[in-house]
Amino acid sequence: MAYDAIETPFGKTDWIVGGAATYAAYAASNFIKPVNQVSIVGYDFAKEEMDELKKRGVNLEGVEVVKDKKSFFWSGRYHLDMNTRDTLVTDLNVLTDFNPVIPDSYQGSEFLMLGNVLPSLQISVVQQLKTRPKLIAMDTMNFWMDNALDDLKRLLTMVDVLLVNDSEARQLSGQFSLVKAAKEIQKMGPKYLVIKKGEHGALLFHKDQVFFAPALPLEEVFDPTGAGDTFAGGFIGHLAQTRDVSFENMKTAIIVGSAMASFCVEKFGPIRLKEITKADIDGRIRQFVDLVNFDIELI
Amino acid sequence: MAYDAIETPFGKTDWIVGGAATYAAYAASNFIKPVNQVSIVGYDFAKEEMDELKKRGVNLEGVEVVKDKKSFFWSGRYHLDMNTRDTLVTDLNVLTDFNPVIPDSYQGSEFLMLGNVLPSLQISVVQQLKTRPKLIAMDTMNFWMDNALDDLKRLLTMVDVLLVNDSEARQLSGQFSLVKAAKEIQKMGPKYLVIKKGEHGALLFHKDQVFFAPALPLEEVFDPTGAGDTFAGGFIGHLAQTRDVSFENMKTAIIVGSAMASFCVEKFGPIRLKEITKADIDGRIRQFVDLVNFDIELI
């Protein structure tokens, strides 16, 4: 949970709530309550935002508030193609002290999504849970592949689903072909692999099966910040709601995640995620059905 | 119809049959016979290749053979990502004399695919057909947008379907968003627009409708040469076979085109296209169904 300053070709904001856990919670809370949040914020994190999250069924007991430090802050500028961005500022602030403690009330959580932080912290969260969740999914990034690969590899043996983008999948596996990368990564632990390709959609791999979900072609991507985290929130939210971790249901979870991400990019930060209704989400999912649905008769 | 020399990260060939019309004919002949081919070749074009095409139902009456010149020759080298390539040699040879003449026996053709050549030649082909075909589709490239835009714009008013890649759609429309680009291009004439995104699949636009077909995730793309032309051949071949030019059937045609293209890239040039059977094609189309098919129940 953090604050961001974002510049895109369409506008600029100097101070907007952000952070992977914020986006994921806003997305997941449409499908499952409570969302047991684990994070750290500073004295500057707005009470209104906390209240908004609570109202949506996000349990904040596991969110540490540090009285004398600021929240994590990130500032970036997107290029015209919206696929690439320059980081202008990264102020770790409270994140340097992050040592997640799982509240007793969170014990028994069945679906765990590990956001992108230091792999040793992700491991600590898994180890604090007395009963192994039904499903553990995780995000990570290239930075940890460069700087904490041993911990990352250890963590990979503990999880069911890895969500990464295409360049991260290539780096982790040493394979350029995503099909080959998926095979290598499954050998490292996760039985399910989601490779996110931004505007080009997402792939789900499991054994020899593969599923592809497109991104919705949009007139305008206003701000891509948080789209991947929103995707992850929708994905785990759908799985937790249905309590079904089959490959078939994971396909649906990918579509739900893609639908949530397609809302996220329409306005700055998580603004759009706070506006949408159940009807909006259902309508968007129907658009995905129309987008890929075809009848074929083999003659 | 041409010869190519191709270098990819996986291998090298100094002399292999190529050319948009060759790929398109090999692909389309799986679905419709005859394929009435219009092209020009030199004295060096192999009799065996002509015989192979004829055997598959490709009518070569409209292929001019020039006795004292060589066939068009192209040589290129692909980069590691296979999405980009450097052209090493372009020898126009017979192409400088190309002035397509439609044989009488071709009159009444119902489905016309205009390969990527000088727009004035594409216009000439349309004008030579006494009965307007049921469907006219066309390919083009950025070079003609830079050098023959007036003719290209005139041609666009005469066709039903334009097939281009994403960067060409952006250049032609002046819009970065493909959704906006599709709107602009439909105003120029073609009621249907296919935007090919290589390994990221293809989009079909018509009015406010959009359909997305993924590319099959492959372990290895051996040689992408001709994939777009093979896609076009499969697309028009399916439409000609079914004689149904509805949006719904065009979706299927896009899947058929994608399936054919996924074979093309498995070996050098059109080699793989000559090997595959009806059963191979049906099996590949089933893979596309599995790739995107999901069940969703809106709860």
pLDDT digits (tens, 9 = 90+) for A48-63: 999 999 999 999 999 9
Window A:272-291, CB contacts with B under 8 Å? 282, 285-286, 289-291
Assign B102 to helix, strand or coil: coil
Distance from CA of B41 to the nearest CA of A (A): 34
Q: Within 10 Å of residue B158's Cβ, how many Cβ atoms?
A: 16
Instruction: Please write down the HEC assignment for all residues of chain A.
Output: CEEEEEEECCEEEEEEEECHHHHHHHHHCCCCCCEEEEEEECCCCCHHHHHHHHHCCEEEEEEEECCCCCCEEEEEEECCCCCCEEEEEEECHHHHHCCCCCCHHHCCCCEEEECCCCHHHHHHHHHHCCCCCCEEEEECCHHHHHHCHHHHHHHHCCCCEEEEEHHHHHHHHCCCCHHHHHHHHHHCCCCEEEEECHHHCEEEEECCEEEEECCCCCCCCCCCCCHHHHHHHHHHHHHHHHCCCCHHHHHHHHHHHHHHHHHHCCCCCCHHHHHCCHHHHHHHHHHHHHHHCCCCCCC
**Is the CB of residue B46 less than 8 Å away from at least one CB of chain A?**
no
CA-nearest of B223, B194, B224 to B209 is B194
DSSP single-letter state for residue B148: -
Query: According to the model, what pLDDT value does residue A121 have?
Result: 98
Please give the average per-residue pLDDT across A207-236, as a whole number.
Answer: 94
Closest to A122 (Cα-Cα) out of A159, A96, A93: A159
Q: How far apart are CA B243 and CA A135, in angstroms?
A: 49
Q: What is the ipTM of this complex?
A: 0.87
The alpha-carbon gap from A134 to the nearest alpha carbon of chain B, in Å, equals 22
Which residues, including other chains, have CB under 8 Å from residue B253's CB and lie 6 or more apart?
B234, B235, B236, B238, B239
Disruptive mutation site among A241, A296, A297 for chain B (greatest number of B CBs within 10 Å): A296
Could you read off the pLDDT of B102-141 as tens digits, one per residue? 999 999 999 999 999 999 999 999 999 999 999 999 999 9
Alpha-carbon gap, residue A103 to A63, rounded angstroms? 10
Residue B139: strand, helix, or coil = strand
Q: d(Cα B245, Cα B228) in Å, to the nearest integer?
A: 20
The DSSP secondary-structure symbol of B193 reads E
Q: What is the pLDDT of residue B55?
A: 98
Question: How distant is the Cα of A201 from the closest Cα of chain B, in angstroms?
Answer: 8
Q: Are B145 and B169 in contact (CB under 8 A)?
A: no
pLDDT per residue over B244-258, tens digit each? 999 999 999 999 999
Q: Are A291 and B212 in contact (CB under 8 A)?
A: yes
Min Cα distance B122 → chain A (Å) is 31
pLDDT confidence of residue B177: 92
Residue of A114, A176, A167 whose CA lies nearest to A143:
A167
Closest CA to A249 of A31, A20, A7: A31
Average pLDDT, chain A: 95
Instruction: Tell which of A294, A297, A298 to mutate to test the B interface (max B CBs under 10 Å).
Output: A294
At A58, phi and psi to the nearest 5?
Answer: -95, 120
Distance of CA A28 to the CA centre of its chain: 10
* Pairwise CA distance, residues A213 & B156, whole Å: 32
Taking CB atoms and an 8 Å cutoff, what residues of chain B touch A217?
A: 178-179, 203, 210, 212
Q: How far apart are CA A90 and CA A64, in angstroms?
A: 20
CB contact under 8 A, B292 and A176: no
Residue holding tokens 């399910």?
A192
B190: Cα within 13 Å, side-chain hemisphere = 29
Residue of A nearest to B242 (CA): A299
Task: Kindly identify which residue of chain B lies nearest to residue A217, measuring between CA atoms.
Answer: B179
DSSP state of B94: G
Residue B297: pLDDT band (50, 70, 90) is: low
CB of B170 less than 8 A from some CB of A:
no
Q: Does B105 touch chain A (CB under 8 A)?
A: no
State whether B295 and A252 contact (CB < 8 Å).
yes
Q: Is B299 part of the contact surface with chain A (CB cutoff 8 Å)? A: yes
Interatomic CA distance for residues A73 and B21, integer angstroms: 56
B294 is written with which tokens? 């999901």
Q: Which residue has the tokens 């120029």?
A: B188
pLDDT at B295: 76
Could B218 and A177 be called an inter-chain contact, meaning their C-beta atoms sit closer than 8 Å?
A: yes
pLDDT tens track for B234-284: 999 999 999 999 999 999 999 999 999 999 999 999 999 999 999 999 999
Residue of B80, B248, B298 lying closest to A176 (CB–CB):
B80
Res B81: pLDDT: 77
C-beta of residue B228 within 8 angstroms of C-beta of residue B202: no
> Measured between CB atoms, does A296 come within 8 Å of chain B?
yes
In the Cβ-directed half-sphere of A214, how many Cα atoms lie within 13 Å? 27
Among A4-13, A81-90, B156-165, the minimum mean pLDDT is found in A81-90
A282 and B298 within 8 Å at the Cβ level: the answer is: yes
Burial class (CB in 10 A: 0-12, 13-18, 19+), A38: buried
**Mutation choice for A interface testing from B83, B173, B292 by most A CBs within 10 A:** B292
Inter-chain touch B212–A214, beta carbons under 8 Å: yes
pLDDT at B299 over 90: no
Q: CB distance from B33 to chain A under 8 Å?
A: no
Q: Does B84 touch chain A (CB under 8 A)?
A: no
* Burial degree of B28 (CB within 10 A; 0-12, 13-18, 19+): buried
Q: Which helix (H) or strand (E) holds B188?
A: none
Q: Give the count of beta carbons closer than 10 Å to the beta carbon of residue A50.
A: 16
Q: Mind listing the pLDDT tens digit for each residue in B172-193?
A: 999 999 999 999 999 999 999 9
Q: What angle do CA A9, A13, A15 make, to 5 degrees?
A: 150
Helix (H) or strand (E) holding B198: none
Strand partners, A163: A139, A194
With an 8 Å Cβ cutoff, are A214 and B214 in contact?
A: yes
**Res. A3: pLDDT tops 90:** yes
**Residue in chain B lying closest to A298 (CA):** B282
Write the pLDDT tens digit of every residue in B14-51.
Answer: 999 999 999 999 999 999 999 999 999 999 999 999 99
pLDDT for the residue numbered B93: 96
Q: Residue A203 and residue B217: Cβ atoms within 8 Å?
A: yes
pLDDT digits 0-9 by tens, A139-166: 999 999 999 999 999 999 999 999 999 9
- Which long-range CB contacts under 8 A does B35-39 form with residues at least 24 apart? B35/B59, B35/B237, B36/B61, B36/B62, B36/B103, B36/B105, B36/B106, B36/B109, B37/B1, B37/B62, B37/B63, B38/B62, B38/B63, B38/B100, B38/B102, B38/B106, B38/B125, B39/B1, B39/B63, B39/B64, B39/B100
- Residue B298 pLDDT class (50, 70, 90 cuts): low
**Do A293 and A286 touch, CB atoms closer than 8 A?**
no
Give yes or no for B255 touching A (CB within 8 A): yes
Q: Do B180 and A219 touch (CB under 8 A)?
A: yes
pLDDT digits (tens, 9 = 90+) for B42-95: 999 999 999 999 999 999 999 999 999 999 999 999 987 777 899 999 999 999
Element (H, E) at B266: none
User: Looking at residues B290-299, what average pLDDT do you find?
Assistant: 77
**Whole-angstrom distance, CA of residue B25 vs CA of residue B52:** 11
Cross-strand partners of B62: B38
